[in-house]
Structure 1
Amino acid sequence: MVTVHDKLFIGGSWVEPSNPELLDITSPHDRSVIGRAAQAQPADIDRAVAAARASFESGTWRLTPPAERIEVLRRFNALREQNADAIARLISAENGSAGWFTRAGQPGLSRQANAYLTAAREFGWEETLAPSDPASTVRSVVRREAVGVVAAVIPWNSPFSSATSKIIPALLAGNSVILKVSPENSLSMAFLAELLEKTGLPDGVISVLPADRETSEYLVSHQDVDKIAFTGSTRAGRRIASIAGEQLKRVSLELGGKSAAIILPDADIARAVAGVKFGSLLNNGESCIAQTRILAPRSQYEQVVTALKELVESLKVGDPNDPETFIGPMIRPDQQERVREYIRLGIEEGARLVTGGPQIPEGLEGGNYVTPTVFADVDNSMRIAQEEIFGPVLVVIPYDDEDDAVRIANDSEYGLSGGVWSTDEQHALAVARRVRTGTVTINGASIGFDGPFGGFKASGIGREYGAVGLGTYTEYKTVTV
């Protein structure tokens, strides 16, 4: 059955698009058409921004007491939880993400939202500061107020997580929001819009628009947008940062990664390699936090390589709807070819192909599939070790000692995530403190939502999640009395 969405969600209502032509949404599994959806053009962006500006200036949402805003977003989270299975199915259909992954991610969305709701309840929306000088009669009232109109631009690989990590804090802070989503996610994001429609937000406060890159740039360049919140590639992030700099817009960027998992000599190798299954190959490898550089001590290098080979060869590749599938297809044919080209590059660079290769898995030639691949004897200077591949490709890099491992882990333009494996938790924590990334997990711990999430270096600017993430959607105002 082909799902059709021929209208756009602008300012809380479904309206006719400026261009009636619909985009075909195809299945990554077999490239069949599974949906058709309207796509936003600059004229639609103008309507959405005008609605957002009008709602913000009127104060219908930004002047609503924080407790009431919290209740509206709590209602939205409850609606999302009630529809978790439908959301998981939609994302698997659009993205090719294996069903285990889309289902397992639903409780994480609840934890993410609850962390924001808790932060909002405890947030210092207005505080009075006593003067530091006893002789002074002046006191300061410090307020946290909404930034204004927020353009939230998200990628295709994890649409609900990326969307809610931005719209929930932006709305909690009292902003009006235009959520720009990838065309590939038109179906799941239309479902998100339907949930938002039922939440009880005032008119004009939220729009959800699928659109191409050119229209996205039109949005972030719009003179009536006050803040850009972007998740996506580092290349696109640099362009957005330049636009924000020219226009002095507030901006937060969550960008790419090439994260390293350091397996220390005392680690339980079997446990560490099993952890790679989820820390490095989640979402078909199409994840910015995937730990795709595996750093192993030379004394145990071949043991690690052999264990990784056995792990990867044991994983079923195939139909995302098959409960036995662990790795599904890439989202688009061009992404499939991009990953295969990196595999060919690794062979040309002289890395040892342990398992996998550029060939398409047998019997899956009709979809966007790649063969999960492991390279050994990789030097960290190789492109396959430095560039974000965004697919199920692992590189295993040997190190001499702990200092060498930390040096290799930090020898990257990125700094988003990473991992340390050790039987000594305190030792692992000491190593983690030396790794220059925004997040480090120890022994496969999941990323929490109360602490800030974001990247060092080319992995971004700013942070999401919890109180810190909420704060990025506010401005400080000081009133002296």
Structure 2
Amino acid sequence: MRQHDTLFIGGEWVAPAGTGTIDVISPQTEEVVGRVPDGTPEDMERAVAAAREAFDHGPWPRMTFAERAAAIGRLAAIYEARQGEMAALITEEMGSPITFSNLAQAPQPLGMLKFYAEYGATFEQEEQRPGLFGPVTVRREPVGVVAAVVPWNVPQFVSMSKIAPALLAGCTIVLKPAPETPLDAYLLAEMVLEAGLPAGVLNIVPAGREAGEHLVSHAGVDKVAFTGSTAAGRRIAAICGEQLKRVSLELGGKSAAIVLDDADLPSSMGMLALASLMNNGQACVAQTRILASRNRYDEVVEAVANMVTSQPVGDPADPGTGIGPLVAKRQQERVEGYIKAGMDEGAKVVVGGLDRPYDRGWYVAPTVFAGVTNDMRIAREEIFGPVLAVIPYEDEADAVRIANDSDYGLAGTVWTADTEHGMDVARQVRTGTYGVNCYMLEANTPFGGYKASGIGRELGPEGLSGYLEYKTIARLG
């Protein structure tokens, strides 16, 4: 069992203020595989003080962008050497299939570090512009101390999407990992120490809701970067709004995959499986509404059902596993509750249902519903599990209308033999990210959502902008 007795504050391993602990439980075996301190409001006070000291008086914000980029590059090299270890650790603590962990859980954060290390090497802090009465300098300065509050589903991805640009900007950070997945953050802390980042630049305190709210509302925090549920995002936005504190929110999704009549179903299903079922369906970008025309509806339902049943359900550490367990018992019960709701609303279970694949582990049967209308709960609400709803549409305009008929706007895809026409469809769907015959996230492009899917963008140059303040300096003579 992996046991940690300390917190990472001010560049040191320090004893927690309280005696509470968090057990990390394997979703596959239901056994304790790790234990860390349960951070308290007092611990958050110390972490914010360390971050505040490092920002107000330390070297990090006073370095050039190129100097910080070089430090990020050192961290990237260390991360790359240990990315296999990181992938296996995330699989152990939250049940992500090891193939997905090796594909995304560890490589994507590494890609973010590499991007910002390269981008920052030539980034200019000041820009000169002509003014009406003389030259004007536009200066970019770090926003300050950042509270990064992250969920459990892709813990390093969402952590690094905040940490990497915040570091390049010159900010200092307090990271609060989710109670379900604190172990990967400890591995990251080891890398930060090895990379030689100054004390207090990154502080890590795993904790629950009470300590998390204390961190978010702390007067010493200048910006909150949050990824999680829309309900929690509204609460955080209210706190930050009251304090006029900077905030970025990456929230939920209910994304639609539009299957056009000219799509080649056999060649599409492999990539659609990744788009719809990645990380056991525990992904805010998952394409869980499959929109099919009435002309090919039965054919698409059959193809989706075959795609789902072709994904082996089993031990997430087994490279042959396509779908593993959900992160916690409460998540298992939540997803099964939605499956029951779909049945009660009259949708037809094509594959899956309420029979669990295994007696041990927090598994649910990967499920496909047919006969779904877009007003059903399984089409409106984020389920966060391997449950897909196939919804019929009349024509292409109706498909776009259904795709946009959602409180969310995070992701989406279109599947077609004509990629240029697919681009035309993509331009009509109101989401922050989109794919034509694929779904991918790139470290050099912005990621975020419309509507209830969030506020602001992460990744790319746009992600860096969210951690900068812009100062205009005019002068005469």
In structure 1, C-alpha distance between the alignment counterparts of 2:310 and 2:200, rounded to whole Å: 50
Residue of structure 2 in register with 1:296 after alignment: 292
Instruction: Say which of 341, 364, 371 aligns to 2:365.
Output: 371
Whole-angstrom CA distance in 2 between matches of 1:384 and 1:243:
31
Residues 6 and 20 of structure 1 are in contact (CA less than 8 Å); yes or no, is this contact kept in structure 2?
A: no
- Structure 1 counterpart of 2:383, which letter? I
Q: Is the 8 A contact 2:23 2:36 kept in 1?
A: yes
| Partner in structure 1 of residue 95 of structure 2 | 96
Work out whether residues 445 and 459 of structure 2, in 8 Å CA contact, stay in contact via their aligned partners in 1. yes
Match among 427, 445, 451 for residue 421 of structure 2: 427
The structure-2 alpha-carbon separation of the partners of 1:328 and 1:281, relative to structure 1 and needing over 3 Å to count, comes to same
- The residue that corresponds to 2:465 in the other structure is 471
Secondary structure class of the residue paired with 2:325: coil
Aligned to 1:184, the other structure's residue is in SS state coil
Computed over aligned residues only, the root mean square deviation of the Cα atoms, in angstroms, reads 1.0
State how far apart, in whole Å, the 1-side matches of 2:174 and 2:60 are. 15
Deviates more, 1:101-110 or 1:320-329: 101-110
**How far does residue 118 in structure 1 lie from its aligned partner after superposition?**
3.0
Gap runs ≥5 in structure 1: none
For the pair 1:351 / 2:347, whether they are aligned, the reply is yes
- After superposition, where does 1:223-262 map in structure 2 within 5 Å? 223-262=219-258
Q: What are the equivalent positions in structure 2 for 1:110-189 lying under 5 Å apart? A: 110-131=110-131, 133=132, 136=133, 138-189=134-185
For structure 1, which segment, 444-453 or 287-296, has the greater mean C-alpha deviation from structure 2 after superposition?
A: 444-453
Determine if contact 1:241/1:251 at 8 Å carries over to the other structure.
yes
- Pair 1:42 & 2:21 matched: no
Question: Are positions 1:335 and 2:336 aligned together?
Answer: no
What amino acid is aligned across from residue 413 of structure 2 in structure 1? G
Distance 1:382 1:279 in 2: 22
Matching residue's letter, 1:121: A
Distance 2:61 2:84 in 1: 33
Map 1:264-303 → 2, pairs under 5 A:
264-303=260-299
Alignment-derived partner of residue 25 in structure 1: 24
Letter in 2 for 1:9: F
Amino acid across the alignment from 1:350: G
Which residue number in structure 2 is paired with residue 10 of structure 1? Answer: 9
Residues 263 and 272 in structure 1, CA contact (< 8 A), matched pair in contact too: no
Query: What SS is found at the alignment partner of 1:103?
Result: helix
Deviation at 1:192, TM superposition (A): 1.0
| AA matched with 1:156 | W
Give 1:379 shift.
0.1
Matched, 1:326 2:351: no
Matching residue of 1:192: 188
- What's the counterpart of residue 388 of structure 1? 382
Between the aligned partners of 2:4 and 2:238, the Cα distance in structure 1 is 34
Q: Cα deviation per residue 1:418-449 (whole Å; 9 max; x = unaligned)?
A: 00111111100000000000001110142222
Report the counterpart of residue 202 of structure 1 in structure 2.
198
Look up the equivalent residue of 1:68 and give its one-letter code: E
TM-superposed CA distance for 1:59, in Å, is: 4.2
Deviation, structure 1 residue 107 = 2.9
SS at match of 2:414: strand
Q: What secondary structure is seen at the aligned counterpart in 1 of 2:238?
A: helix
What amino acid maps onto 1:450 in structure 2? N
CA distance in 1, matches of 2:387, 2:64: 48
Residue 208 of structure 1 aligns to which amino acid in structure 2?
Answer: I
CA distance in 2, matches of 1:402, 1:21: 55
User: In the alignment, residue 366 of structure 1 is paired with which amino acid?
Assistant: R
Mapped contact 2:285–2:411 kept (Cα < 8 A): yes
Question: Aligned to 1:230, what secondary structure does the other structure show?
Answer: strand
Measure the CA separation in 2 of the matches of 1:267 and 1:391: 26
Task: Kindly state the Cα deviation for residue 220 of structure 1 after the two structures are TM-superposed.
Answer: 0.4
Instruction: Please identify, of 288-297 and 202-211, the stretch whose mean Cα deviation from structure 2 is larger.
Output: 202-211
In 2, Cα distance between equivalents of 1:214 and 1:359: 36
Q: Deviations over 1:335-366 (max 9, x none)?
A: 000000100000000001101001211xx211
| 1:8 counterpart letter in structure 2 | L
Matches within 5 A, 1:394-413: 394-413=388-407
1:206-254 Cα distance to aligned partner (Å, 9 max, x none):
1011110111111000011000001111000000000010000000000
Contact persistence 2:66–2:123 (CA under 8 A): no
Letter of the 2:291 partner, please give it.
Answer: L
Work out whether 1:78 is the aligned partner of 2:72.
no
The 10-residue stretch of structure 1 (118-127 or 209-218) with the greater mean CA deviation from structure 2? 118-127
1:449 to 421, 437, 443: 443
| CA displacement at 1:122 relative to structure 2 | 4.1
Question: Partners in 1 of 2:331 and 2:42 — Cα distance?
Answer: 30
Q: Are 1:438 and 2:432 an aligned pair?
A: yes
Any idea what SS the aligned residue of 1:62 has?
helix
The 3-state SS of whatever aligns with 1:152 is: strand
Measured after TM superposition, the shift of residue 184 of structure 1 is 1.2
Deviation digits for residues 314-353 of structure 1 (CA, Å, limit 9, x no counterpart): 2111111112111000000000000001000000000011
What secondary structure does 2:195 align onto?
A: coil
Length-normalised TM-score, structure 1? 0.97
Query: 1:304: how far off?
Result: 0.5
Contact 1:49-1:224 within 8 A present in 2 as well:
yes
User: Partners in 1 of 2:313 and 2:377 — Cα distance?
Assistant: 26
**Match for 2:229: what amino acid?**
S
